Structure 1
């Protein structure tokens, strides 16, 4: 029912505060104040408090987060290049004996991997030619998967998807505007490319945790951590409270990495040491990607961003 409009004429000719009768003394039926005792409202307040505390306590680190994240992302490549150099004869033996590489090709394969990983890692850390550096490191991930015959190893596959997600986060962080090469051809703007790479990076980063869930023996503690971690992974993937959930995964994966992949406590001649060391540095790489997500935010294709427009 529409409001009645009337013109009030004061008898004395003085000032009338509401000459058109727009004032309405009745309470509005369309808005209700939030109930502080509502469990959902309490959960929202808790989430806001956690986010505020994260912003407060990470403020001194904020200027350094991109550098820390980039270094951690390439740590697995630096460790892998060091492993190849220090285990050169063992690597050659494996490629020639089990992968049937010809003598010269095995040497070239290892040399190209080491050079690409060192140069690409330096480019990522120094923010020099980041697109080429990320492309080179992505090439290493793909070539090694086929070269070492690990493409069908599920755990290796999931972990490397997460490493690729970390590299996508680096690419998003380094995104810059490029001039059109050919006038008239359709092209994505910097912001469009950045939000798509951020979405891909967010989704791929969570595969490490999925790999953790499907391997090993199950205990009550493992089930509890897996449920909470899976919820945080879903939140990261869809971009809901992304900074909070990514921060939670950074802490969880860091603790898990130190206590489970403690390669330094294993004898240097034990074969398990290399496997633990490999897992340790790959997990560090994914933690670096999550740190970049905390620093940059989830991007345009996320629930957090959509909520700002409604």
Structure 2
């Protein structure tokens, strides 16, 4: 039970909320009210408005973002499998005549690269760890098998595809018991944040390849500078959802106009190269979509800001 005691105050005495001077009367040195006219505050308010709009307009798609991202990530592997099955004879001829693969080894190589099972497992979230490992192996052996490992554009694009696969692995990571008691091991959260960091960094290499190749113009220079800033934000995890969303839009528009393989005649040799670049870019867009859905993880500026 509690009671209140009314103490009479002398007439004319003013009320003091801290009569004994216990409280700190010094002005606060912390965050002060924002100045609406400050350019920095205007940028912060504008970026906050963009983030809010992204959250609002992405709500209808948000339940489907993981499935969309996963499908887009493996779409380049599905296209590879379709290409191998429809061009089996041509693929064998190229491997045996130009890459000097022995008969039989070339057949096994093509069968390994037909990763329909692994791609399906990624989309359906079944045995994702094994599926991601298999697809990573395909990316590596393709580079050596087709002799493209020293091609800078191919190398940067495949680094981004690997980043997308790391995002898939992070999205599907589940806790496992220690294999050996007493041995140190990373927790699920620790492993997840390291894979997210690696995935974020690797995803941006596609845009670096875009900057390094092609003819320069004023529009390309502006797009490159803005894109590199967004890539840096993704890598360090600063406004990661906003910057990843921006890159999704930029890469999608660029992909449609630059890699429009459907407008090239079916017998033209450039058609297959454009189609390959188109589907690889879609895979990297899928990785960025997963980043928008999951966030940048613990090793990021965004996460550190929450602790202050």
TM-score, length-normalised on structure 1?
Answer: 0.93
Hey, what does 2:221 align to over in structure 1? 223
Tell me: CA distance 1:42–1:139, structure 2 relative to 1, closer, same or farther (3 Å). same
Is contact 1:69–1:287 with CA below 8 Å preserved after alignment?
Answer: yes
Is contact 2:80–2:113 with CA below 8 Å preserved after alignment?
Answer: no
Hey, what does 1:169 align to over in structure 2? 167
Hey, what does 2:255 align to over in structure 1? 257
Superposition pairs for residues 103-252 of structure 1, below 5 Å?
103-114=103-114, 117-252=115-250
Hey, what does 2:292 align to over in structure 1? 294
Hey, what does 1:30 align to over in structure 2? 29
Hey, what does 1:4 align to over in structure 2? none
Hey, what does 1:6 align to over in structure 2? none
Query: Take 1:74 and 1:102, find their aligned partners in 2: how far apart are those partners?
Result: 29
User: Matched residue of 1:103: which SS?
Assistant: coil
Query: Deviation at 1:19?
Result: 4.2
Query: Deviation at 1:22?
Result: 3.7
Hey, what does 2:46 align to over in structure 1? 46
Hey, what does 1:74 align to over in structure 2? 74
Query: Deviation at 1:20?
Result: 2.5
Query: Take 1:108 and 1:21, find their aligned partners in 2: how far apart are those partners?
Result: 84
User: Matched residue of 1:170: which SS?
Assistant: helix
Deviations 1:176-234 (A, max 9, x none): 00011110011000000000000000000000000011111000000010000000000
Query: Take 1:160 and 1:85, find their aligned partners in 2: how far apart are those partners?
Result: 22
Query: Take 1:16 and 1:276, find their aligned partners in 2: how far apart are those partners?
Result: 77
Unpaired segments ≥5 residues, structure 1: 1-8
Query: Take 1:233 and 1:17, find their aligned partners in 2: how far apart are those partners?
Result: 52
Is contact 1:10–1:16 with CA below 8 Å preserved after alignment?
Answer: no
User: Matched residue of 1:59: which SS?
Assistant: coil
Superposition pairs for residues 90-101 of structure 1, below 5 Å?
90-101=90-101
Deviations 1:90-136 (A, max 9, x none): 1101110111100111111111221xx11110110000000000000
**Superposition CA RMSD, Å:** 1.8
Hey, what does 1:3 align to over in structure 2? none
Query: Deviation at 1:35?
Result: 1.0
User: Matched residue of 1:60: which SS?
Assistant: coil
Query: Take 1:305 and 1:77, find their aligned partners in 2: how far apart are those partners?
Result: 33
Query: Take 1:99 and 1:124, find their aligned partners in 2: how far apart are those partners?
Result: 31
Hey, what does 1:275 align to over in structure 2? 273
Hey, what does 1:305 align to over in structure 2? 303
Query: Take 2:129 and 2:28, find their aligned partners in 1: how far apart are those partners?
Result: 55
Unpaired segments ≥5 residues, structure 2: 1-7
Hey, what does 2:5 align to over in structure 1? none
Query: Take 1:258 and 1:202, find their aligned partners in 2: how far apart are those partners?
Result: 23
Query: Take 1:267 and 1:145, find their aligned partners in 2: how far apart are those partners?
Result: 27
Query: Take 1:303 and 1:274, find their aligned partners in 2: how far apart are those partners?
Result: 40
Query: Deviation at 1:17?
Result: 4.8
Query: Take 2:112 and 2:59, find their aligned partners in 1: how far apart are those partners?
Result: 40
Instruction: Give every structure 1 segment of 4 or more consecutive aligned residues whose post-TM-superposition deviation is greater than 4 Å.
Output: 9-12, 14-17
